[in-house]
């Protein structure tokens, strides 16, 4: 998990938020990942609203998935994701509780393995429609590796939370908060899109 790859590795990241202004937080998090200088974002999935899975009663989540390439080792990528979570006020006090921002590594190439702070692929990815459906939108034909894995579209079709996913917007990175309508079925498959370049000054300036 600490070995730096000799060539860029494709990874799938899942982002979610249900506190504060989730759409603005997700938009900024994607741009902060892109501006980090150590990953390239290849595609950003449509934005979905999903009911919280497990944990206490809480607001719905906004979720998306991004496809990236990076020279970071798996745990280096994890630390980058955790740093951005912390910048946005993430506090890990309650398992499956509400959060300002959550960034999970779903896959890192074909790597499988477990350490004390990272498991690849994500151990619950195969049963989460809010990960699988957005992923399928940006990488048709994708296959989740590892135990319980398989074609992403087939896994999405049988995921327990399938009925809880509603689509909000396609080009949501360019929209102002509040724009976009809710749909009960996935949108027409979209072409992978990269985030809008940051304005001069970078994140938060």
Which residues does the annotation mark as catalytic?
90, 99, 102, 104
Helix (H, G, I), strand (E, B) or coil at 22: helix
Cα separation, 41 vs 181, in Å, equals: 25
Q: How far is CA 53 from the centre of its chain?
A: 15
Q: How many Cβ atoms from other residues are within 10 Å of residue 153's Cβ? A: 16
Burial 24-58 (b: 16+ CB within 10 A, else e): ebbbbbbbbbbeeeebebbbbbbbbbbebeeeeee
Helix residue ranges, H only, the chain: 22-35, 74-87, 129-138, 152-157
Cα separation, 19 vs 138, in Å, equals: 26
Q: Is 119 exposed, middle or buried (0-12, 13-18, 19+ CB in 10 A)?
A: middle
How many alpha carbons fall within 13 Å on the CB side of residue 47? 27
CB of 152 within 8 A of CB of 136? Answer: yes
């Amino acid at each position: 998990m600490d070995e730096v790859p000799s060539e860029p590795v494709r990874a799938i990241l899942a982002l979610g938020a249900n506190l504060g202004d989730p759409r603005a937080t997700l938009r900024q998090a994607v741009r902060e990942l892109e501006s980090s200088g150590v990953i390239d974002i290849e595609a950003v999935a449509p934005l979905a609203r999903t009911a919280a899975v497990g944990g206490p009663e809480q607001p719905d989540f906004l979720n998306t998935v991004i496809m990236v390439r990076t020279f970071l080792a798996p745990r280096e990528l994890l630390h980058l994701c955790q740093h951005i979570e912390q910048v946005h006020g993430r506090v890990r006090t309650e398992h499956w509780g509400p959060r300002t921002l959550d960034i999970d590594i779903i896959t890192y190439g074909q790597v499988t393995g477990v350490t004390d702070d990272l498991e690849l692929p994500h151990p619950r990815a195969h049963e989460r429609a809010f990960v699988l459906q957005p992923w399928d939108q940006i990488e048709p034909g994708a296959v989740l590796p590892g135990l319980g894995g398989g074609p992403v579209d087939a896994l999405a079709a049988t995921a327990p939370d399938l009925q809880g996913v509603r689509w909000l917007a396609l080009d949501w990175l360019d929209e102002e908060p509040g724009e976009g309508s809710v749909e009960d079925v996935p949108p027409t498959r979209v072409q992978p899109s990269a985030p809008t370049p940051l304005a001069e000054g970078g994140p938060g300036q």
